[in-house]
Amino acid sequence: MLRNGSACGCGPQSLGSTPGFHPSKEEKMNILFVCKHNVFRSKIAEAYFKKVNKNKNINVSSAGIIKSDILTKTEKRIVKFQRETAREFGIEVKDGSKSMSISLLNKQDIIIIVANDVPKKIFNNKFYLKQNLKVVVWKIFDVKKEEDYKEVVKKSIKVIMKKIDKLVEELK
């Protein structure tokens, strides 16, 4: 949560009005979107941010806390649907899964957890993180194999897009 108590960073004291959140022309800001496996939620956030953001002083990437390198047939079917649905929203998501590393984490100015199943406290170790790191939590639920995943995927994409639009506006 941000200082204003907002979980999404979209409250009265936004990221954009917080000192230190506007990168200078010489220095770039780094934002990392994180979810559990870096297959869907964080990848959607990264791809959509790159599509709508016009500020060249902001670098974004995404990662999972666990790399997803083996998928079952059901998971492959869900991932295929996620990619197809993202394309319908004009979002092109790259294949592959990337996991977090200390070298990736220690570059970040903002980490946005795009998941309900990633604990914020894993980013409490200031030894290898920037002292002024901001961690924001967007509780986006993951798809459960046994549910009607199609509606969950569509809803998740819409929620992520809305949050990204607000974030981009705040960072102007």
pLDDT tens-digit map of 98-142: 999 999 999 999 999 999 999 999 998 778 888 889 999 999 998
Residue 16 lies in a domain: no
Domain residues for the domain of 141 are 26-170
Residue 84 lies in a domain: yes
**What is the CATH number for 138?**
3.40.50.2300
Residue 64 lies in a domain: yes
Report the chain's C-alpha Rg in angstroms.
16
Query: How many domains does one find in the chain?
Result: 1
pLDDT tens-digit map of 44-61: 999 999 999 999 999 999
pLDDT at 155 over 80: yes
Find residue 30's DSSP bridge partners.
Answer: 59
Specify the pLDDT at position 20: 46
What's the whole-number mean pLDDT along residues 64-88?
89
Residue 145 lies in a domain: yes
pTM: 0.84
Residue 158 lies in a domain: yes
Tell which wins on pLDDT, 73 or 13: 73
Residue 54 lies in a domain: yes
CB-based burial, 94-113: b 16+ in 10 Å, e otherwise: eeebbebeeeebeebbbbbb
CA dist 17 and 75 (Å) reads 41
Residue 20 lies in a domain: no
Task: Determine the 3-state secondary structure of 148 from DSSP.
Answer: coil
pLDDT tens-digit map of 2-37: 333 334 444 333 454 444 455 555 679 999 999 999
Tell which wins on pLDDT, 146 or 42: 42
Residue 53 lies in a domain: yes
What is the enclosing helix (H) or strand (E) of 30? strand 29-35
